[in-house]
Amino acid sequence: MINKKLDNLIRDIEPNTEEIDVDDNIAIKELFNKDKSRAIELILKTHKNYYYEIISSFHSLTHSFLVGAVLDSIYEALRGYELDERQDTYTTMSGTILKNKLLDKIRADKTDKRVLNSDSLSLDDLEEKGYSSSTHMKFVNEARQKNLNTVELVDYIETCEDLTDMQKEIVKVIIKHNGNLYQLDIADKLDVSRQVVAYHLKQLKEKNILKEMRGGF
């Protein structure tokens, strides 16, 4: 599966002049603790074919979503796990996370279509389909967030099941600063690359999250 967005991102990544073995769990974790963006970039550039192979089966998902999911998965593997040399690498761990993200997205998209095509959007009907009250709020009362205060907005974002962890963090930063910051500001505060922020901002706009809260970012 040719993903031009991912191709361009990988092409712009600087070579591994540090000569860090990205499959050395201890070394790449140490780099991540110092420079999160660089650790993610090196894993992505070194094992690009591995990630291409995973996303090649998900033709129905947009290129932007796939790129964001790849970056998120590497970030979550490095952030959330402490692996030693006897365990799987952070690359394979991120691959497992990535596959689960993509499968969850496929399932969510199918469920969303069923709900949106339904004649009834009552809470009882949705709960019978396995939806929670927060999901019902998202579909039926999403405009209500315009009247929420900052704390309630953050709580609301945390309940949005179709947002990735990184997207939630980006939105919370935007809420905290009332939208008065640039992509580079967000990247700096979250210690990730501007490319990561740019991809997720695009997704958030498409989901009407930023537009709903700030009238456009």
- Give the torsion through C-alpha atoms of 102, 167, 182, 148, to 10 deg: 140
Calpha distance 64→5 (Å, rounded): 7
Q: Answer yes or no: is pLDDT of 146 > 50.
A: no
Which residue, chain included where needed, has tokens 């009407």?
208
pLDDT one-digit tens code per residue, 92-119: 999 999 998 888 888 877 765 554 454 4
Give the residue, 118 or 195, on which the prediction is more confident: 195
160 and 196 in contact (C-beta within 8 Å)?
Answer: no
| Tens of pLDDT, residues 17-65 | 888 999 999 999 999 999 998 999 999 999 999 999 899 888 888 888 8
Percent residues over pLDDT 70 in the chain: 75
d(CA 206, CA 186): 19
Closest CA to 88 of 30, 23, 22: 23
CA distances from 160 to 55, 134, 139, 165, 169 (A): 24, 8, 11, 10, 12
pLDDT tens for each residue of 74-84: 999 998 888 87
Q: Can you give the pLDDT at residue 117?
A: 52
* Measured CA distances, 128 to 97, 112, 122, 136 (Å): 29, 14, 10, 12
Q: At 136, is the secondary structure helix, strand, or coil?
A: helix
Exposed / middle / buried, residue 178 (Cβ in 10 Å: 0-12, 13-18, 19+): exposed
Q: Where are the alpha helices (DSSP H) in the chain?
A: 4-11, 25-34, 36-46, 48-55, 63-80, 90-116, 123-128, 133-140, 150-158, 165-176, 183-190, 194-206, 209-214
State both tokens at 126.
């949705």
Residue 121 pLDDT > 80: no
